[in-house]
Amino acid sequence: QFTLSKSKKIVLPISLVYTWTKNSFLSAFESDNALFGSVQPEDEMPYIAPHQGSLMISLTHPRWSAHLNTRYQSAQRSVAGQGPIGPNQIIPQRTIIDLALNYQISAAWGTQLSVINATDQVYLAARHPAGLRPGHPRGISLSLNYRY
């Protein structure tokens, strides 16, 4: 995390997160579960993206804040396997942008406006159970918060 501030009231926090995951089965087995089927040693596990990351840039003030979060997830398999992922087994990579605005009305009351998937990107989130599953469409929420 990095914070840049020339003012004591307005701060520009920047957060960059990256995760690399290498995964595989250690032994062979047969499964009735469609996610696994006939598994061989070194088969990659389904639904685990090898690369994930996020970049969040914010502006914060004692009474308000604004946040832009970009989330990335690399392509992943929908069934156990090795080598290139087949066209009927891939969950393609995606980059999603979220936004949030916060305002502190008083010491006890605050409000938040959140936008999930601000660009309304259409993406594939899963293939199981029972076929293709879309990702979260643009979602907007407004909340009123009370602290006691």
Beta strands 109-116 and 94-104, pairing class:
antiparallel
Structure tokens at 18: 């990256």
pLDDT digits (tens, 9 = 90+) for 31-71: 998 889 899 999 999 999 999 999 999 999 999 999 999 99
Question: What is the value of pTM for the model shown?
Answer: 0.85
**Domain containing residue 46:** 2-146
pLDDT digits (tens, 9 = 90+) for 25-39: 999 999 998 889 899
SS3 call for 8: coil
- Which amino acid makes up residue 109? W
> What whole-number distance in Å separates Cα of residue 51 and Cα of residue 104?
36
SS3 call for 91: strand
SS3 call for 113: strand
Number of folded domains that form the chain: 1
